[in-house]
Structure 1
């Protein structure tokens, strides 16, 4: 299969985001010479959305023997009005998040809540607000019925602006935080996991679900995998840049290796192990969650199911099988053993039988 350079028009309509085999140094160098450039805030390679830039890229692709996929767009490089003060501030805010190397999910969440914060106080800028203004805003959001998790997100996003972007002292912005509710992890029985996997015929879908349960991977970790992360000689899967920017090596089951090889031969991914409709682009997180819901429905599981429940099930089933808690902590990539200890609340092995059973009723 011919390697592909795929372009996707960004919301600004002034540039494309490019997807191609990043690991090929020669290809990367040639495309950079043809006009591509790396943008930290976008976390990827961009190309000006002009006919001239596209033509140069297509010429470079033809010389390299690459297939260029350019979307049909009605107009390129539309002239936009200069950004407002609030738009420029939001762009600067997102740039700081990217430079801090926060995850794409954190960037998306922080940007969304901070944009609402800016809009609420417009035309005033954040530096014109008092501490009481911020507290009043938070109180209003709580009164509107936002969750405790969302309230904490609001606080963190606003604190990031004042402390990181503007460099103000930490004590400038202290707000009361809600006490986080302690909930037991939701999980599946082994029979339910078996039914869920057996009812999934699509190789790509089944491989992603088996990685989540068989190795306890998070959703983002599944989607970030590349073919180079599989070491079939050592039977190890490398997880790079997991939560907290931690790497870990996980034992790869033989059955899963065979399935991953089959799905690779069938779909021939360009960059990521699991790609979406466009070559070189990772599979969508929303699409993967939909795969889980559809698989659960086919298995006759009526309660809401998410991919993360497979990770919880992996940890709990290991604990029930007698695996040491410290080993599970290492496999899951937890920084603290206290995080791993939540599984002792749901694992049957760690809970005594009820004295009711001894009454012989």
Structure 2
């Protein structure tokens, strides 16, 4: 019997219901009758947005079909729980409260998302009481059991504690122990690999953005927040305002990058931000990562490369060229020299000078 499998995928970072089946014209035409159906070349499937309404609609649509329908969608997914208008309003107020605390956009969004899931979790347990037991259960079921990262677990704990502070709830006996972060060494590209990536970006705007992140050692948030006036070509410096830790700093303006960014400016003529989207607003971090991923895919590089890899590479290459760690710390905007010290572990300058005892055999 022909089989159609319903499964969960992420397409363009958004959860979708995917319909998987061996190619069959009859099934294809039947699936296409669903409203809002789309085709993904990336996944090779038809898909619709992952909502409770669409799950019910799909089940009803396929119920009387002659095929074997296999439902692999998650059961009791918190994502599908609908909150009350009062709860949604409370979450929006919490988000505004976080924003007034002048936390970064990323932190505000992360805390808001985790608190939304926490409230949905409480809703699924038929309670509106935010007790120690409920928080510890959420920590286990949503984070530990799902094997989410230690970094994300710490962010969740921070977000819930902020929410309790916002609600004036005092839980002094909260027993959630913060796990120690893994001490993973950063991925670093060689100079040749950075050059190879840039050579595989043809779009002038895209190349300038990726070159900026590497040549100035910027975080992606710093790069897309950069304004035209932050480029100081007379002093050959870039002013990074209100970066992580609410600090301003200066970083290097490469003469080679200055040539590239002037070419870019003469073509695109941005008005406020150095890199603007089609609507004139700030460029999207997701779009920037997609540019980098597409460029890496065209190369033979097998490392997992993210935008932050370019920042790690910038710091490591400075260290290997003899730059003092204190200056690297300032250029990166690290609050502590301990953070910058990690690059001593990935630099091959000192390691390459050590004679391997095997060579003496």
Q: How does the TM-score come out when normalised to structure 2? A: 0.72
Which string of whole-angstrom CA distances, capped at 9 and with x for unpartnered residues, describes residues 288-337 of structure 1? Answer: 00111111122322332111101000111111111111111011000000
Q: 1:215 to 1:92 in 2, by over 3 A?
A: same
Which string of whole-angstrom CA distances, capped at 9 and with x for unpartnered residues, describes residues 215-246 of structure 1? Answer: 10111111111111111222211111111111
Q: Which residue of 2 aligns with 1:68?
A: none
Q: Which residue of 2 aligns with 1:38?
A: none
- Number of equivalences: 277
Q: 1:117 to 1:293 in 2, by over 3 A?
A: same
Moved over 4 A (4+): 123-127
Following superposition of structure 1 onto structure 2, how do residues 32-51 of structure 1 map, counting pairs within 5 Å? none
**Long gaps (5+) in structure 2:** 1-83
Q: Which residue of 2 aligns with 1:348?
A: 348
Q: Which residue of 1 aligns with 2:132?
A: 131
Q: Counterparts of 1:310 and 1:339 in 2: how far apart (Å)?
A: 16
Q: Counterparts of 1:234 and 1:155 in 2: how far apart (Å)?
A: 43
Which string of whole-angstrom CA distances, capped at 9 and with x for unpartnered residues, describes residues 248-284 of structure 1? Answer: 11231211112111111111112211111112x1111
Q: Which residue of 2 aligns with 1:117?
A: 118
Q: 1:122 to 1:210 in 2, by over 3 A?
A: same
Task: Answer whether contact 1:213 1:310 (CA < 8 A) is retained.
Answer: yes
Q: Which residue of 1 aligns with 2:36?
A: none
Moved more, 317-326 or 147-156: 147-156
Q: 1:170 to 1:235 in 2, by over 3 A?
A: farther
Moved more, 195-204 or 234-243: 195-204
1:316 and 2:316 matched: yes
Q: Which residue of 1 aligns with 2:275?
A: 274
Moved more, 293-302 or 323-332: 293-302
What's the secondary structure of 2:245's corresponding residue?
A: helix
Q: Counterparts of 1:329 and 1:356 in 2: how far apart (Å)?
A: 34
Which string of whole-angstrom CA distances, capped at 9 and with x for unpartnered residues, describes residues 111-139 of structure 1? Answer: 11110111111288987232112112212
Q: Counterparts of 1:121 and 1:127 in 2: how far apart (Å)?
A: 6
What's the secondary structure of 2:238's corresponding residue?
A: strand
Q: Counterparts of 1:248 and 1:170 in 2: how far apart (Å)?
A: 38
Task: Answer whether contact 1:293 1:304 (CA < 8 A) is retained.
Answer: no
Task: Answer whether contact 1:118 1:125 (CA < 8 A) is retained.
Answer: no
Deviation at 1:154, TM superposition (A): 1.4
What's the secondary structure of 2:357's corresponding residue?
A: helix
Which string of whole-angstrom CA distances, capped at 9 and with x for unpartnered residues, describes residues 1-28 of structure 1? Answer: xxxxxxxxxxxxxxxxxxxxxxxxxxxx
Q: How does the TM-score come out when normalised to structure 1? A: 0.72
Q: Counterparts of 2:214 and 2:138 in 1: how far apart (Å)?
A: 41
Following superposition of structure 1 onto structure 2, how do residues 75-154 of structure 1 map, counting pairs within 5 Å? 84-122=85-123, 128-141=129-142, 142-154=144-156
CA RMSD after TM alignment: 2.1
Tell which has more relative contact order, 1 or 2 (C-alpha 8 A, sep 6+). 1
**Long gaps (5+) in structure 1:** 1-82
Q: Counterparts of 1:330 and 1:315 in 2: how far apart (Å)?
A: 11
Following superposition of structure 1 onto structure 2, how do residues 188-203 of structure 1 map, counting pairs within 5 Å? 188-203=189-204
Deviation at 1:192, TM superposition (A): 0.5
Q: Counterparts of 1:355 and 1:268 in 2: how far apart (Å)?
A: 54
Task: Answer whether contact 1:196 1:295 (CA < 8 A) is retained.
Answer: yes
Q: 1:337 to 1:88 in 2, by over 3 A?
A: same
Which string of whole-angstrom CA distances, capped at 9 and with x for unpartnered residues, describes residues 136-167 of structure 1? Answer: 2212221232222221121111001112x134
